[in-house]
Structure 1
Amino acid sequence: MTADVVIDIAREVVWVIVKTSAPLLIVSLVVGLVISIFQTITSIQEQTLTFVPKFIAVMAVLVLAGGWMLNDMTSLFVDLVKSIPQYIK
């Protein structure tokens, strides 16, 4: 296995990680920003006010996009396992 192959595999793995984590991170960021603006406007500084809505939003996205995320990660793993004989040569 050459260095180019290892770099290609690493690049593909990192890309799948970015693709599958992006929806969760974006939703968490948006919900956190909205809650932060709400807290600033109302002067409410409750810690659970930021945690609970983020948790619910992330779980909702996970329910909605979880199948796609799992399929994406599974296909990467299957491709890597199928390619093992090529990498050994």
Structure 2
Amino acid sequence: MRDLAEETGLVARATDVELLGTLVDHVEGVLRVSVGARVHTRQGQPGTQLEESVVEWARCPLDQLPDGLFVCSAQILTGWRLDLPIDHPPAHFMAFTPAL
């Protein structure tokens, strides 16, 4: 929730966040471990934060996601929703609950 606020400007309570699973991938010589989360209720609007690298926000339906998603985001989305047609490098995703 701290990262959510720092990186997006959005505020959520612990009870409003569902952890989806852990992602382990290896990109350009870097081993990354990420945890995907789904925020059910939040306050505020996403916006560019001065110290963060996200420069553009867009809200898209899952069946209309744009090309060129951040690799970790693409991998977590397809780990959570096996039916999403998103192309990305292989990764290991361990879901906390069964995938939809």
Instruction: With the length of structure 1 as denominator, give the TM-score of the two structures.
Output: 0.23
- Point out the structure with the larger strand share: 2
- Point out the structure with the larger helix share: 1
Bigger relative contact order, structure 1 or 2, given CA contacts below 8 A and separation 6+? 1
